[in-house]
Chains A and B, each alone.
Chain A
C-alpha cells in the first residue's frame, strides 16, 4: 500500500510541476518583453544570432566537411544575421529536437527557429509563435517506380503504400484515399529508414512522405532514375522561420528579411550583381537597397541591410538552387516555390 501512496504522491507532484511550468512560461514571456525590450536589441548587444536548426535534414541543415552548418534553413539564419549584424557568419546554431524546439524558443534559448517548422493555426495561436513568411512550400507527395504505370492516386486500388506510422503523413494519406474511395493497403513502419528499405525491396508500390524528403531519399536508392514523384500533392506543409509572440520589432526584422530575399529575386538582384545596382535609377530598387528612404532604419536595422543580405547570402532563388534546386544533388524543381510572376507562391509585399 505504501508503494501506491508513493506513486500517487509522485504523480501529483509531477502534475503540479507541469502546471507550474506553464504558468512560469507565460509570466516569463510577458515579463521578458516588458522589461528587456525587444529581442532585436538583445541580438545586437550580443553581436551574434542564436538560431535553432535541426542539423540533420538533407538540403535544409547539416554539417559539411569543414564543420560549418549549411542548408536552406541555415541560409535563412545567415540572412537574418547579415541584416541585423552585417555579418552572415555571426550565427550560433543550436540543434533542436522537434519536441524541444518551441520551449527553447519561448524560453529565450534561441532568438529564432529555422527548423522545418510547418505553419499551422494552433502553433500560431495556442503555442504562441509568430511565423515569418514561408521559405519552402512542401507538401506530401508519392514516390513510385517509373515502370509501375501508376500515374494518379486512383491507380493505387488494391496496391500497397509504405508510410511512416504516427505522422501526419499517415493521416493525410488515409484521408485522401477515403475521399477518393480508393481501397489501398497501407504498410506502416515505425522508422523512415525501414520504410524506404521496404519500398526499395518492392514490398509496396508507392512510398509517401514530404516531397522534399522523397526527393532526397530517392537519390539514395540504387537506381534513382527508376523512381518518379507523382504530380499529386496531398497536404500543405509551409515551412518557414519562427519567432515568439509579442515582439513585433524582432518579428518584423525576421519577416522582412525573408521577404527581402524573395523581393531581391523578383528585382533580379543576385549576390554577383548587387554591386552594379549601387547608383540605380529605379526608385523601387534604390529604396529596397537603402540608397533612398529609411526602410531599414525604421526597422531598427542599417538602411542598407538588404545589400548585406544579398551580397553575403544571395537572393531566394540562389539559396534555393544552391541547397535543394538545380545546383544541388536533389535537383528539386521550383514548383510552388517559384516566384508569383512565374506561377509559384513566392510573393513579397512591396518594399516602400
Chain B
C-alpha cells in the first residue's frame, strides 16, 4: 500500500476527477486524426452490422420456429405430460441457488443492491415479454421470487449458523440425485427412457455430470503426475498424454461405436452414460494439467514450512498446498468447465438429442425448413448465457478468495 500524500494528490490534473462524456470521448476516441479515423471506421462497421442484423431480425427472420418448439428446445422429446417434474427440478435449483447466494453474501451490507434489483427486474420483464417464455411466465415469475426469498432466508440463516455452508454444499450434492430421479423417474415416478431426454435439460445434465466427475479425477491425476512414486507418476502421465492426444470426437465415437462391440449382446451401458464418461475422461486430462500448473505455482517453501510444523503429506496437501493451488487455477479450471459445457454440442453428432441435436431435428421439420439462422442464433444465445454465467461465477469466487494484499 502506498501512502497518498496531500502533495501528490493535488498535483494530479483536476479535470480527471470530473471527466464529462465529451471530454472522455475526446481523450479516448478522438485524441488525434488517426484515432479519430479509427473510431469513425469502427463505429461505422459496427453500426452497419447492427443495423443489418436488426433489420434482418425484425423483417426477414421468421421467429415462429422458436416459440412453437420451445418445449422441444428445453426438454427434447420428454413426455409433455411429465413437465411438472422438470418444473419441480427448476424450483429445487432456483431455491438452492438463492440459498447459496444468501449464505455467501451474508456479510454484504445489502443483498439486494440497486444493480441486483435492476437485474431481477430485467429478468422478470424478459420472462413476460419474450414470446417463448410468456406462456409459462406464471410459473417462471414465482421461480424468480423463490430465488429472492431463498436468498433472504439464506442470509438470515447464514448469520445465525455460520457453519451452514457445508449443508448447502451437501444439498447441492443431493440435488443431483433428485434431478436424476425427477428426469429419469423410477421409485414411484413414471420412468422416462434416457432416449427421451433431450434439449437443454440433457445439455445441462451431461455438462454437470461431466464436470462433477472430471474434477476429482483431474485432481487425482495432477497429484499422481507429481507423485514421488514412479509407477503412479508414469501411469498418470501416460493417461494425460494419451487422452490429450486424441480428439474428443474420437473418444465419443469410441464410446458409442466401439464399447458395444466389446460387451455381450444385451448388456449395453446407456448411451448418455457413455457420453458422460467420455466427456469426463477427456476433460479430466486437461483439468489435471490446469491443477498441476496451480500446484507448481505454490512456492516450495510452503511445503517445507508445513513439514517443519509436523504436518504429514495428506494434511500438507489438504490444508496448505491444494487450497492455494486451486485458488490459482480457478480461471483455468472454469475455462475447462466452460469448454466441457460447449463440448456437449458434439453429442449431437453421436445421435443424442441435446440442444444442438434437437435443433437439427427441428430444422428438418418441413414447416421450418431453412430457418437455420433463427435457430442457431437462438441456440448461440442460450449457450452464451450459461457460459457467461459460469465465468461471472468464477470471477466472484476469485474475488471472494482473493487474500493477497
Residues in A lying within 8 Å of B, measured CB to CB: 3, 6, 10, 17-18, 20-22, 24-25, 28, 31-32, 36, 55-71, 92-97, 99-100, 103-104, 107-109, 193, 216, 219-221, 328-330
**CB proximity of A110 to chain B, nearest CB, Å:** 11
Interface residues of B in 52-83 (CB under 8 A from A): 68-69, 71-72, 76-80
Which residue in chain A gives the minimum CB-CB distance to B80?
A67
20 pairs of residues in contact across A and B, judged by CB atoms under 8 Å: A3-B241, A21-B258, A36-B265, A55-B357, A56-B363, A58-B366, A63-B76, A64-B365, A67-B77, A70-B365, A92-B195, A95-B361, A97-B256, A97-B350, A100-B253, A108-B265, A108-B266, A216-B369, A219-B370, A329-B367
Contacts of A6 in B (CB 8 A): 238, 241-242
B141 within 8 A of A: no
B335 within 8 A of A: no
* B261 contacts A24, C-beta separation under 8 Å: yes
Q: Which secondary structure characterizes the binding site on chain B? A: helix
Residues in B lying within 8 Å of A, measured CB to CB: 68-69, 71-72, 76-80, 193, 195, 238, 241-242, 253, 256-258, 260-262, 264-266, 268, 349-353, 357-358, 360-367, 369-370, 372
* B265 contacts A55, C-beta separation under 8 Å: no
Contacts of B352 in A (CB 8 A): 95
* B260 contacts A97, C-beta separation under 8 Å: no
Report the bound CA distance from A28 to B265 in whole Å: 6
Which residue in chain B gives the minimum CB-CB distance to A48?
B193
**CB proximity of B36 to chain A, nearest CB, Å:** 36
Which residue in chain A gives the minimum CB-CB distance to B258?
A21
**Which interface residue of B257, B265, B362, B372 has the most chain A CB atoms within 10 A?**
B265
**Which interface residue of B71, B353, B364, B365 has the most chain A CB atoms within 10 A?**
B364
Contacts of B241 in A (CB 8 A): 3, 6
**CB proximity of B340 to chain A, nearest CB, Å:** 21
Contacts of B257 in A (CB 8 A): 99-100, 103
Which residue in chain B gives the minimum CB-CB distance to A220?
B370
Contacts of B79 in A (CB 8 A): 67
Report the bound CA distance from A329 to B370 in whole Å: 12
Contacts of A17 in B (CB 8 A): 258, 262
* B261 contacts A57, C-beta separation under 8 Å: no
**CB proximity of A52 to chain B, nearest CB, Å:** 9
* B265 contacts A97, C-beta separation under 8 Å: no
* A329 contacts B369, C-beta separation under 8 Å: yes
* A56 contacts B265, C-beta separation under 8 Å: no
Contacts of A32 in B (CB 8 A): 265
* A55 contacts B353, C-beta separation under 8 Å: yes
**CB proximity of A335 to chain B, nearest CB, Å:** 19
**CB proximity of A316 to chain B, nearest CB, Å:** 19
Q: Which 9 A-B pairs have the closest CB atoms?
A: A220-B370, A62-B364, A329-B366, A21-B261, A56-B360, A63-B361, A95-B351, A107-B260, A67-B77
